[in-house]
Structure 1
Amino acid sequence: MTSNDPRNALLDAAERLIALRGIDVPLRDIAADAGQRNNSAVHYYFGSRTGLIDAVIERRMHGLEGVRLDLLAQHETDSTGHDLYELVDMLVRPMVDIARSGQSTHYSRFLEVVRAQPSIADFVHLDAPGHRAVRIITTRLVAALPVPDPRRRIEAVATAMFALLADHERRVEAHTDHTDATAEIVAMLVGLATARIPAATD
């Protein structure tokens, strides 16, 4: 269903088509999918492909940030705000809930495609400007991880998280996922984050 607002319609179309066809999908196809007759509609509203991608991410992150800040506050009250499993859960759960709620069935797949974009650098670059909740969570994750190079593990967790969430989203869309995926995804990511490298043997 196309939004009546041209800008939101372009964001909806971009999220869906980039998720399904890749980052290089023609901008004219995005404009057409959004019901825009003008092929330059993306440039008019967003300036460039990068500007469009940033806007898709920012639209979703605004809501996700609010949820994650609420979760942080709740876990501070419960004194679990630095627990490794709870921190990973705060990254994963809001994304799973988007797919479940019917708000979107493409955002996780979109992120899997565009994950190298600077707009989502907060997941792996703790000094990047941007989203406060993600920075707090990832900073605490670095402090909690019992490994020599925690930032490298955060990068691996981000890569795996986007892939696992995208796979979950595909199953939701196909109506083949009937389980609570959050706990399983969180457990896998914590296992990846904390895996110990076996000592070298002679």
Structure 2
Amino acid sequence: MQAKEKILLAAERLYAERGLDVSLREIALAAGQGNHSAVQYHFDGKAGLIDALYAHRMTPLNHRRRELIDDLRAHGLEQDLPALVEAYLAPLAEHVLTHRGASWYLRFTSRYVLSGAYRSWPCSSDHHPGVGELAGLLRRRLPGLTRERLRVLNLHVVVVLADLEQRLGDPAFDAARAAAAVADLRVTAHALLTA
């Protein structure tokens, strides 16, 4: 594993565990970097590191979301609310289930969003083009859908999946319980949009 990836994974874990006040020096040490300026060197500071963390995880997630959006368009499901919810939710849920407690991405995202540091989240960032496209499709399907309701949907999904990500670190929390939690999240996300 390259130094940059070690730094990204260490930062993701430390930010998820302790919040955004972790020093760049602590991140470098956790990544096994003897040079305490390694984060500054590779990422040009904290803002660059956080941007790189999102790029590291969101690139494959957006690729998967793009596949789901293309698929629902190909099948004429642009107005099908369960299909739209699935296109939003599935990439994140698949990431959590696939990494089974080895990723800290949703926990990091939850901390970051709740810190207030990311005021425009989730629809205006370069890292979330699929989410922005889905927001447009959801607004066409639900004309009264407000930006605040979309924000609440995103918060709900991220926090629930962050909790699931943490629970998956416990070997006693089996795949059936994890699948049931994701199925319940689909139901509550749909209900939140139509409440």
Please state which band the TM-score falls in when normalised by the shorter chain. Answer: 0.7 to 0.9
Q: Which amino acid letter does the alignment assign opposite residue 107 of structure 2?
A: R
Aligned with 1:92 (options 89, 93, 106): 89
User: Number of residue pairs matched?
Assistant: 188
CA apart distance, 1:190: 1.8
Q: Which amino acid letter does the alignment assign opposite residue 20 of structure 1?
A: E
Q: Which amino acid letter does the alignment assign opposite residue 188 of structure 2?
A: M
1:132 is matched with which residue? 129
Q: Which has the larger radius of gyration?
A: 1
2:138 is matched with which residue? 141
Q: Which amino acid letter does the alignment assign opposite residue 189 of structure 2?
A: L
Structure 2 length as normaliser, TM-score? 0.87
Confirm or deny: 8 A CA contact 1:123 1:155 kept in the other structure.
yes
CA–CA separation in structure 1 for the residues paired with 2:138 and 2:153: 11
Aligned with 1:30 (options 2, 23, 27): 27
CA–CA separation in structure 1 for the residues paired with 2:66 and 2:123: 19
CA–CA separation in structure 2 for the residues paired with 1:38 and 1:78: 53
CA apart distance, 1:31: 0.3
1:194 is matched with which residue? 194
Aligned residues: percent identity?
A: 32
Is 2:155 aligned against 1:159?
yes
The secondary structure found in structure 2 opposite 1:80 is coil
Confirm or deny: 8 A CA contact 1:31 1:37 kept in the other structure.
yes
Say what the alpha-carbon RMSD is for the aligned residues: 2.0
CA–CA separation in structure 1 for the residues paired with 2:151 and 2:34: 41
Give the direction of change, closer, same or farther, for the CA distance of 1:155–1:165 in structure 2 (3 Å limit).
same
Confirm or deny: 8 A CA contact 1:19 1:110 kept in the other structure.
yes
Is 2:44 aligned against 1:47?
yes
- Structure 1 gaps of 5+ residues are 196-202
Structure 1 length as normaliser, TM-score? 0.84
Pairs within 5 Å for 1:64-143? 64-102=61-99, 104-115=102-113, 116-118=116-118, 121=120, 123-125=122-124, 129=126, 131-143=128-140
